[in-house]
Amino acid sequence: MTVSARRRRTGIAAWGLALPFTALFAVFLLVPVTSSLYMAFTDMRGADLRTPWAVNFVGFDNFVTALADPKFQQAAGNTLYFVGVAMPLTLAIALLLAVLLNSGLVWFRSVFRVGFYAPVVTSIVAVAVVWRFLLQPDFGLVNSALGVIGIDGPRWLTDEVWAMPSLIVMATWRNVGYSMVILLAGLQGIPRDMYEASAIDGAGAVRQFWSVTVPLLRPTLLFCAVITGIGYLQFFEEPFVMTQGGPLGATNSVAYEIFNRFGFGDYGLSAAMSYLLFLAVVILSYLQFRLLRTEK
């Protein structure tokens, strides 16, 4: 067989293997991504569902409408609040747990790892049922426990000030295990002689953490920050199942507002909002790369 015939045969076989995925990928992912961009520049509404081509181009109107909409602005502010607090919190706790678990002094490492990771695998809907109970103002566990030490706990989920922090704690609880597992694996890749060398140089535990662990863990931290950031920017499920975006929009998020606009039939507007969210994801990831990439 000639070389070129062989190459052609391999090429055909490779496309045969790639075909099922590629076909579905094109239909259910590439088409929606591009038609979302198309919709963002049209006045498409729910009534146009069956005739998606019979709509008018409106230029950047949807984007202007979105940015000028007070509900969207509030949702954007809430999303930044959520990401700004929950992301550093999640990463800090994950890193702390990973460092502690990496110590040779831990008794049952795999028990701890399983316990901290368990919330990650749970369904948000099921977890919401439990958390609404825990945060229930009158007979919930949290306020009962606070009552024991004489604190009159707030009405967590219906209080404009406390609703968002409640969701932040819940999201952190549910996501910390993921980053922890990745950071732990990253820590185990740091060679022991790095620590020995720094110990000889007289570095204490804290110094070692900042000058050995953190620099060498940078790529892993970056990965966790990007994944967590992308996920948190799309903050939707927690408010949907816990507060329906309330009270008074205090926990409404951009993703939730997109969903609501879709529900109202404003397809074009909701597509425009989704591209604004996409833009935010790209910007955040870029900033993180700039901030955390390994300096060479």
Partner 1 sequence: MTSTSSRPAPGAAARDVVAGRSPARGTRAPGATARRTGPRAIVLNVALLIGLAASIAPLVWMLLSSVKPEGEIRQFPPTLIPDQVTWSNYTELFASLSFPRYFLNSVVVAVAVTLGSVLFSAMVGYALAKLDFPGRRTLFALVMGTLMVPGMVTFVPLFVLVANLGLVNTYAALVLPFLAAPFGVFLMRQFMLDVPDELLDAARVDGAGEFRTFFRIVLPQTRPALATLGILTFLGSWNNFLWPLVAVQSADRYTLPVALALYSTGQNTVRYGLLVAGATVIVLPILVVFLILQRHIVQGISTTGLK
Which residues ranging from 75 to 104 are in contact with partner 1 (CB under 8 A)? 97, 99-104
Q: Does 151 bind partner 1 (CB under 8 A)?
A: no
In angstroms, give the least distance from the CB of 87 to partner 1.
16
Rounded distance, CA 296 to CA 143, Å?
A: 51
DSSP secondary structure letter of residue 295: P
Rounded distance, CA 38 to CA 31, Å?
A: 10
Q: Which of 67, 80, 89, 124 binds partner 1 (CB under 8 A)?
A: 124
In angstroms, give the least distance from the CB of 90 to partner 1.
13
Q: Which of 139, 202, 291, 296 binds partner 1 (CB under 8 A)?
A: 139
DSSP secondary structure letter of residue 121: G
Give the nearer residue to partner 1 in terms of CB position, either 249 or 266. Answer: 266
| Paired strand residues for 57 | 42
Distances (CA, A) of 8 to 2, 11, 16: 10, 5, 12
Rounded distance, CA 167 to CA 260, Å?
A: 19
Distances (CA, A) of 176 to 71, 100, 121, 183: 30, 14, 12, 11
Q: Which of 63, 81, 162, 223 binds partner 1 (CB under 8 A)?
A: 223
Cβ-contact 87, 229 below 8 angstroms: yes
Write phi, then psi, for 57 (nearest 5 degrees).
-75, 135
Q: Does 73 bind partner 1 (CB under 8 A)?
A: no
Collapsed DSSP state (helix, strand, coil) of residue 204: coil
Q: Which of 64, 92, 161, 205 binds partner 1 (CB under 8 A)?
A: 205
Segment 227 to 266, residues that bind partner 1, using CB under 8 A: 227, 230, 233-234, 236-237, 240-241, 244, 255, 258-259, 262
Q: Which of 56, 73, 92, 130 binds partner 1 (CB under 8 A)?
A: 130
Please report, as a single letter, which amino acid is at residue 121.
Answer: V
Q: Which of 123, 210, 215, 289 binds partner 1 (CB under 8 A)?
A: 123
Site string for partner 1, 41-70 (x = CB under 8 A): --------xx-x------------------
Q: Does 121 bind partner 1 (CB under 8 A)?
A: yes
Please report, as a single letter, which amino acid is at residue 222.
Answer: L
Q: Which of 62, 220, 251, 252 binds partner 1 (CB under 8 A)?
A: 220
Provide the total of helices (H) and of strands (E) in the chain, helices listed first: 14, 0
